Structure 1
């Protein structure tokens, strides 16, 4: 594809509208509604989200992770604490997540502070994972350089034999995080690029301010 073709890639949006008078006053409830609709639409991995973190001096990085839970406290995901994102969260707990459900012409942006979940919560979740996923957490020194894929495959074979009839323990360097939101924005595509944007800003522990933004 040449540059001209790339620049001409566009579509008009017309599926739905978003109004500050009809959205829920609680952004978590509004997220729940949209997430349910994404699931009902049978979108591919509707819980896939872009997680953005940054170093202490503000150098950003982003990757796709899977949402594993949400409530009024925040949005949860699991990873290796020693991965790049884990190290960045330790030094700079500010982060952002983004959902894009293109088939529904929707996007949700969430900004806030990231904290570790308790060991007990992480332990319980780890034991619900498929066995191969549990072993993968033990095998992979996530984000570290390795000499070749065979290192991972050999280690996986060893651990499959070792834990054939045993419960696999959660490694100490693996567990959950919760992003506690202070801003949540809902975006609904509209015709002529006059998109609907409703943003919620947290005022205190229970109160959100809701406003419309220009597209």
Structure 2
């Protein structure tokens, strides 16, 4: 018997006496959870929601850029050039047009890449799954345009593109409704940072030292705050 099987067995035994009325539908050992909490704090328009996202991203020390879809490739090229990036890591499903103006060498997202190889890459560019305005959080789910989780944890510079307004939601509950819990979710609120007991902030310990977010204005859609 594996460790996983032993742990799950203990959980099942511990939950064996949960009354049937407290179980969710017909799923054994899963207690129903009331979800009558407030889903959105305040009534915001699309523009106000996107502005709140930009404000909270900046509050977490992310560098925020805003552009149109037509200017995206030039915007990313300028960001890479300003960084002095000679190499850029590219997920397999990333739109090739996003990097059409960039001069940096493309590095593919390979399963066999070692941490040392990833650490030598100057920058990484990804899309995202969803962005949460109220918390200034970007969520990656490992889709082809985002790549493996490690490519956004090892390189020191991460450029993340958020499509506005379709990928922006107001709250965490709204984000969870869009996400598949079976996927490898990475929740990002600003560049990687930690503080010691004296509250001295150090960035880049558990991930990129620099996070740049590009909010790309696209076609108008329904109010994301509803």
Question: Do these two structures clear the TM 0.5 threshold for a shared fold by scoring above it?
Answer: no
| TM-score tier after normalising by the smaller chain length | under 0.3
TM-score of the two chains, using structure 2 as the length reference:
0.21
